Structure 1
Amino acid sequence: MSITLTINGEPRTIDADPETPLLWALRDELGMTGTKFGCGIAQCGACTVHLDGTPVRSCQTFIGDVGDASITTIEGIDGKAAKAVQAAWQELEVPQCGYCQSGQIMAATALLAETPKPSDDDIDTAMDGNVCRCATYARIRQAIHLAADKMEA
């Protein structure tokens, strides 16, 4: 079945079953490998993308359910919050192995777009379920606070 998805602002048509997880459509059909496979059961956050600005787990989001929603991946993330998060991540050298970082960045960007000056509790809630195998959680929290400061400046 031919399905058209709006990804990073552009229509992309693929021939796939409507019950195909968005993750596999992105990676296998469209070659967009920035979104990672982690667990396949929406528990780790590595596959996080934005659906109309809201972070969702693409491994459990079926392409047939996306409809007219706009999908943003790590390859297409942009804007003030995204730039601040990316700069803070680099400045504080957040990643170690880097595998989870696209999902972490997508979750952090969504948080800052909604809550420009988050508390530690806000960060913990927003980032809950984004697993970092290298346990860089303290640097992730610090980077989100730094990104919030950068957005204010």
Structure 2
Amino acid sequence: MGLFKSWKKQEVQEKAAFSPVSGELVPLETVSDAVFAEKSLGDGVAVIPTDGSLYAPADGTIVALFPTGHALGIKTRDGVELLIHIGIDTVALNGKGFTVHVKPDDTVKKGQLLVNFNIEVLKGAGYDTVTMMLVSNGEQFGEVHKAPPGTVTAGEKILWL
């Protein structure tokens, strides 16, 4: 009897990431920066934000954080490495318009506020605010599945492996 208990069907756990911002989900291929559009840094999604709050897309650890606040990396508890990049070429703002609420090695929970960014400051300086979330170690997991384009709310499932 004990032998058969160990044969229980193993469930494959889906690895999901949730929208870090509220806005309009668009195909990654449509963003104006070729590095992202051509998936050079990994496959993923893009959201044109409607407000300037960026939240943790999953439980994990901050593994990279640009001092300017425009980009960060999270390694989820499932081992998925997510790169989140706010805007196109916004590194040139040198942190202007960004307020960072985390530091490297912080443990974060899904939905935790990570960064505030002032959309008007970014747009006023001529920058595209589209925010990309990429799976930078996708080769370990296979195909990246994405929600269809449309309006999304921060915390809504938009990507899964």
What TM-score do you get using the length of structure 1 for normalisation? 0.24
Whose helix proportion is higher, 1 or 2? Answer: 1
Whose strand proportion is higher, 1 or 2? Answer: 2
Larger Rg: 2
What TM-score do you get using the length of structure 2 for normalisation? 0.23
Higher RCO (C-alpha under 8 Å, 6+ residues apart): 2
